[in-house]
Structure 1
Amino acid sequence: MNKQQIKLASILTIVGALPFVAAVAAQLAGVSAYHTSYFSLTYGAVILSFLGGMHWGVFLSQAHVARINLLVSSNLFALLAWLSLLMLVPLTQYLIQITCFLALLLIDRKLAADGMIERWFYNLRKQVTLVVVVCLATLAVLTFKHAL
């Protein structure tokens, strides 16, 4: 990728985290926990599936050097994301998604170490995943407090 493409990918990745930040801001501003939970968890499931799709692309182009079957792991995390939406307890939903985001980041760390994804992209993923996980954890705490 050239510098302009890297810049665009970085901007789009950062913008992709803004709905999580907006959900926290909305809940702090008084929007109901139900609405912010629905919004953030649904968006989270979409993003987790998107990340799985990226792993499919990496695996399809580099299966000969992959030490992880990304087709299996990406499906697993997409299904867990979907399952999180079926849970009745919001805290469980948030914990499942937080775990999925962190697990996918660990896979990306391995992919970066193996040279299957660019180091700049892994570093960006670390930063954005931290923002997303903090937002989801904050929403979980706020939602739990609201339920009491």
Structure 2
Amino acid sequence: MFPLIQRCCFHTPFKVTGPRLLLCGKNKTTCSSLSLCLQRDVCLLSRSPSLNTASVYATKLQAFHTSLPFFKKKTPKESDAKDPGVLKRSAESLKESPKPALYLSLTGLIPFVSVPLAMAIQGTYYPEMAFAQITYGAATVSFLGGIRWGFALPESSPAKPDWLNLANSTIPPLLACQALFLKDITSGAVMLVIALGIALHYDVSLLPPYPRWFKVLRVGGTVVMVLSLLATAVLKAGLEAQLSDSSDKWMSTK
């Protein structure tokens, strides 16, 4: 029994000496089978089932932990990290535009901006200036509609002179003419805003062969024109209401 305990505790080789060999001498088969049984029991005892089970569970847990990709920290892509942004890309595309097109487009926005700015500085609404802004806006919308004719008519143009390109370009000028016939400046400004939005939709969405700098220039110019027209309409309502209040007070004092 002592050699068995020694083998289990201290992992020493099992030896059968002296008297045990004599006891087993009469029946070698029994002795050999007994030694094999003892060795098998010792091997089973030396392996701890709890440790084996724990190692199996640890392996499964490790595999489960490493197999969940959504717990891992995702690193941003280089394209996302180096994205310059929409405004920066637009500014870079404007640098590629021809200088005459850029300067003439910026100069053409001055009549739109100057009208509401002058009325806001002086604090007075001028109907003549507002009507002049509406007239200039109608001419600008008609020019923007004619751009598509000039783009679609050449034989080498990617746009075909079909009904879609030629007929749609006449819609903004028709709306612009309708704005001139309206007596109310606010209604004319709203009509021009609708016409500018339709023309911008045609140039940006329906004709992708336009260069990027032209699309950026069209978007920026349309935003400035729309804000200027709406500012004139707001100033008309506010200044006229203020003028009517002041006239009522003056009449009440008399």
The bucket for the TM-score relative to the shorter chain is 0.7 to 0.9
TM (norm. structure 1) is: 0.86
Q: Are 2:111 and 1:28 equivalent residues in the alignment?
A: no
Partners of 1:73 and 1:8 lie apart in 2 by 27
Question: Which of 90, 101, 104 is the aligned partner of 1:12?
Answer: 104
- Cα RMSD after superposing both structures: 2.2
Shift of 1:141: 0.6
Partners of 1:67 and 1:46 lie apart in 2 by 24
Partners of 2:159 and 2:202 lie apart in 1 by 17
Shift of 1:23: 0.9
More helix by share: 1
1:63-122: CA deviation from partner (whole Å, max 9, x where unpaired): 75578723212212111101101112221111000111111111111145x31x111100
Q: Are 2:180 and 1:85 equivalent residues in the alignment?
A: yes
Structure whose alpha-carbon radius of gyration is higher = 2
Partners of 1:55 and 1:16 lie apart in 2 by 19
Partners of 2:162 and 2:223 lie apart in 1 by 25
TM (norm. structure 2) is: 0.52
Q: 1:68 to 1:140 in 2, by over 3 A?
A: farther
Q: Which amino acid aligns with 1:27?
A: M
Q: Report which structure shows greater RCO (CA 8 Å, sep ≥6).
A: 1
Q: Which amino acid aligns with 1:123?
A: V
Question: Structure 2: where are the runs of 5+ without partners?
Answer: 1-94, 242-254
Q: Are 2:232 and 1:118 equivalent residues in the alignment?
A: no
Q: Are 2:155 and 1:55 equivalent residues in the alignment?
A: no
Q: 1:69 to 1:142 in 2, by over 3 A?
A: same
Q: Are 2:154 and 1:46 equivalent residues in the alignment?
A: no
Which consecutive aligned stretches of 4+ in structure 1 deviate over 6 angstroms post-superposition? none
Corresponding residue number in structure 2 for 1:98 = 193
Q: 1:64 to 1:20 in 2, by over 3 A?
A: closer
Among all aligned residue pairs of Structure 1 and Structure 2, give the percentage whose two residues are the same amino acid. Answer: 29
Corresponding residue number in structure 1 for 2:164 = 69
Corresponding residue number in structure 1 for 2:220 = 127
Shift of 1:29: 2.8
Does the aligned pair in 2 maintain the 1:33–1:146 contact within 8 Å?
no
Partners of 1:64 and 1:103 lie apart in 2 by 18
Corresponding residue number in structure 2 for 1:108 = 203
Partners of 1:147 and 1:68 lie apart in 2 by 45
